[in-house]
Structure 1
Amino acid sequence: MRSDRMSAADRWPAQIKFIVGNEACERFSFYGMKSILAGYIAGEVARGGLGQDVDTATSIIHTFVFAVYFMPLFGAWLSDRVIGRYHTILYVSLFYCAGHGVLACSDMLTTVNAKLLCLYTGLSLIAFGSGGIKPCVSAFVGDQFKPEQSHLLQKAYGAFYWSINFGSFFSFLVVPWVKDHHGYGLAFGVPGILMGMATFIFWLGTKHYIRVPPTRETKTASFMKVFWHALTSGDRKPGQSFWDAARGRFSEREVDAAKSIGPILSIFLLIPPFWALFDQTNSTWVLQGQKMVSFRLFGLEVGAEQMQSANPALVMILVPLLTLVIYPMLGRYATPLRRMSFGLFLTASSYLIVAELQRQIEAGARLGVAWQALPYLVLTTAEVLVSTTGLEFAFTQAAPELKSTIMSFWLLTVAFGDLLVVAITKFLPGSGARAHSASVSTSRFLLYAALTFVVAILFSIVASRYRYRGEAAIRSN
């Protein structure tokens, strides 16, 4: 009997396959659309593009990504407080599908202004749909594991992240190919079909899922209610802490759950610069690659848009290598925050390499786009260390009733990272020959590298003072 319980605790829940399948298709749809976005906005009108300048294309893309990752606040509230994670994922996905449908209609329009309106409408719907489900899907994965299976979460999130990159790898190859041979309309339509498949796959697992009810059903107070009462309470006694003022109105569990968020947010506060650099692989790195020479691999021409597939391809190699080999070898030294600290230093290093490539391009050298594989390798290693680990850290450190909320805060770090890119692009526009194209320049890449090196040092200091909760506390010791 004991061996049966142990084997059950070591076995993954069967319903995980539906969530992983949904995530692979959804990521294909998102990254497939995103893979051609920079070329579409900055491309020549005669070739189906919108003819916008480099800085405009950068700003549009990163404003869109900001919206995608800001919307998790709404998705977390909807799932945690109102209808639960399952229904949020299912219903909000329909808006996601509609957004792809709008973008697919772009070829039916004849003027640039009409196509821009179509672009903004489609991206708004996708931002609402993608952002709305983001905090729910990753938390929904964790919901399927029982407390005695918590040791499986690291590998589960590794597999979850692997599925994300499995879908995005093929999207970076397929969607640009469709665009080159059939135009932007059909190229934007293919991701819509995959998003429809993602929604259907998720629905197939309906009867198997473990569903955590929203707090309106469990009558549990939200983080904001506890925080607001603690902040505005006028009856705080001498010697009481900030949170003690809320203990007279709320239960110990509710106060402790709210209290746990502060230390987690102190870690999240320094993550946005990572995303500011990482998300430029779909904007400034593509625009840099368009100035480089393409090459052929297994009969496929690899240009700037196809080079984006290097990231997910490397992730699919690095996730199992790090999760199954390197982390176990390092043991307790490979704590989540140590991994993330090292990842931030690697992130900054990758931009030193990109800056050097850009310096040679500006000097007149004709570099092959294959040279971008080197910074992709460094940045992708950093991504696995920061992003995959961040998902694990966010879930394990959050109280059960606030998991979607804390996931939304984690995703908010992406939003502010992309907002940072928009702000730098707007307030440092360049001048003379660099006017409206400073986003892709040696000095700009070096600026991002220097900023992230400073942040990596600060993160290491803050992380050294963090105290883990639950099983993570045991493993870190």
Structure 2
Amino acid sequence: MARTPSAPSSDRFPPQIPYIIGNEACERFSFYGMRNILTVFLIDYLLRNAVPDEGARSAQAKSLMHLFMAGVYFCPLLGGYLADRWFGKYKVILWLSLVYCLGHACLAIFENNATGFYTGLVLISLGSGGIKPCVSAMVGDQFTAENKHLVKKVFAIFYWTINFGSFFASLTIPLTLKHLGPAVAFGIPGVLMFLATLIFWGGRKYYVVVPPTGPNPHSFLKVVGSALRHRGQGGHWLDGATREHPAEAVEGAKAVLRVSGLLLPTIPFFWMLFDQKASTWVIQARAMDPHVGPVTFQPSQMQFVNPALVMILIPLLVGVVYPAFQKAGWELTPLRRMPIGLAVGALSYAIAGYFQVVMDQGTVLNISWQLLPYVVLTLAEILVSTTGLEFAYTQAPREMKGIIQSLWLLTTTLANVAVAIASALNVFSGAGQFFFYGGLALLAAGAMAFMARHYQVHDYYQQDVGGSVPDRAQPPPLADSSKAL
């Protein structure tokens, strides 16, 4: 049975919300604190003696970094499944948070031991990835029909908190690595994750705990399996599944195929660009002049630009740019924003590639030049990531929204696996890698624009059979899926 606290005022947040928000702030600081220094740590510390050549060492560090990120975005499939089907969100978040803490402890303790350190990365992948789909969904679980109007506001706060944690982690932890060493630099995020776990546990008496649903007899995979057993029924190949499943489930499976057919071949090329700001762009920054006036920046610190810009650019785009295009008669629909975003992302890599060409010719550029490609890449992130998650969420009925969210996260996994393999093979170096990935993103932009012309938009919203608002408010997609989910 779900525990239901006393009904709060319809104009006040439920008392458990501060616990979830506080947990998210500390958890995001812990994750971005350790992730943003990972590439530099691998190059300058863990791999230094094992791989003497710096070029080969940088390539291996990139590969390991992106394998780790692939794990982080694959484990939500496991965490979401365990929460929805068997244990519920609260237990999965609490248990995997403890695994998460243990992973941080391994990083701090085994700074000179590759086996111990990599074990820590595996545990963090399991913990961080496993709780990703659960925390944001649990926020929505805390609201009822009486206070559903507060959901958008709380998610705005939730999203701002994510970027707040990322911003300060990006500024402070690289300096900690430089001046106090790896044990402290990885230890501080570990302490923050332990604090996040305590804060979450502290709200246990207040949470609305939605029980797990158990196995779904009409899941996407079961509908597909049924359709394959009953082929040749005419019309769409999934129609044969109507022998064993309701028409709504079959239509939902068709929606999943429509969305995945558009996103899976294209969106991974954006994540190939975006996630390399923590690897390839950091390596480029290492070769730049770090002095900006009286301030000396660490290469990993430049990642603070992204969350700072996100908090500025989203209100500007949503409040000014999108309405201006709509008034001009050319609305920036999701199917227009995403291809444009891919092309803008390609532009950011063209700029960074040009900088690399200049540097390869012997010119030392100041690290402040990286601000320009960061601005362009962040604009691309908002156009692709923000829009894409919302688009995927609205294009599937309620019963299939979970599989759609899983497919969205899978695009990030595929991207990081591809970059990890390319980095391990060390196929590209110097400016060539920037132009290669930028070129792939530009091709993906063209392909998505072409496919979008033939895509039939069908929005699904959270309503029951009678069309009324459901008793339990459902969480809207978060504005920054790369950070929030």
Instruction: Name the TM tier (shorter chain).
Output: 0.7 to 0.9
1:292 aligns with 2:282: no
Match for 2:222 among 225, 239, 248? 225
Give the equivalent residue in structure 2 for 1:21.
22
CA distance in 1, matches of 2:183, 2:259: 43
Match for 2:273 among 237, 258, 277? 277
Task: Map 1:390-409 to 2 at 5 A.
Answer: 390-409=388-407
CA distance in 1, matches of 2:255, 2:152: 21
Aligned partners of 1:72 and 1:408 also within 8 Å: yes
What number of residue pairs does the alignment pair up?
A: 446
Aligned AA (2:228)? L
CA distance in 2, matches of 1:390, 1:21: 27
1:265 aligns with 2:266: no
Task: Map 1:52-91 to 2 at 5 A.
Answer: 53-91=57-95
Aligned partners of 2:174 and 2:298 also within 8 Å: no
Secondary structure of the residue aligned to 1:71 is helix
TM-score (normalizing by structure 2): 0.83
Aligned partners of 1:67 and 1:415 also within 8 Å: yes
Aligned partners of 2:292 and 2:367 also within 8 Å: no
Secondary structure of the residue aligned to 2:316 is helix
Task: Map 1:77-226 to 2 at 5 A.
Answer: 77-107=81-111, 109=112, 115-144=113-142, 159-216=157-214, 220-226=217-223
Give the equivalent residue in structure 2 for 1:445.
434
CA distance in 2, matches of 1:149, 1:274: 37
Structure 1 residue 159: Cα displacement: 4.5
- For structure 2, the 5+ residue unaligned runs are 1-8, 463-485
TM-score (normalizing by structure 1): 0.84
Aligned partners of 2:46 and 2:114 also within 8 Å: no
> Percent identity between the aligned chains?
46
Aligned partners of 2:310 and 2:382 also within 8 Å: yes
- For structure 1, the 5+ residue unaligned runs are 1-6, 110-114, 431-437, 473-477
* CA distance 1:37–1:413, shift in 2 (3 Å): same
Q: Deviations over 1:406-458 (max 9, x none)?
A: 2221111111111121232244x35xxxxxxx44x111111111111010111
1:346 aligns with 2:344: yes
CA distance in 1, matches of 2:338, 2:394: 15
Task: Map 1:339-378 to 2 at 5 A.
Answer: 339-378=337-376
1:246 aligns with 2:235: no
Q: Deviations over 1:351-390 (max 9, x none)?
A: 0000011011100001111100000000011112211223
Bigger proportion of residues as helix: 1
Q: Deviations over 1:229-255 (max 9, x none)?
A: 112235x53x24323222222233433
Secondary structure of the residue aligned to 2:365 is coil
Aligned AA (1:187)? A
* CA distance 1:466–1:171, shift in 2 (3 Å): farther
* CA distance 1:90–1:330, shift in 2 (3 Å): farther
Give the equivalent residue in structure 2 for 1:112.
none
Secondary structure of the residue aligned to 1:177 is helix
* CA distance 1:117–1:283, shift in 2 (3 Å): same
Give the equivalent residue in structure 1 for 2:470.
none
CA distance in 1, matches of 2:70, 2:407: 13
Secondary structure of the residue aligned to 2:296 is strand
Q: Deviations over 1:88-135 (max 9, x none)?
A: 22221211111011001024x4xxxxx211221010001111111222
* CA distance 1:265–1:293, shift in 2 (3 Å): same
CA distance in 1, matches of 2:252, 2:47: 56
CA distance in 1, matches of 2:144, 2:324: 26
* CA RMSD of superposed structures (Å): 3.0
* CA distance 1:164–1:391, shift in 2 (3 Å): farther
CA distance in 2, matches of 1:231, 1:147: 40
Aligned AA (1:250)? H
Structure 1 residue 147: Cα displacement: 7.8
Larger CA deviation: 391-400 vs 342-351: 391-400
Secondary structure of the residue aligned to 1:406 is helix
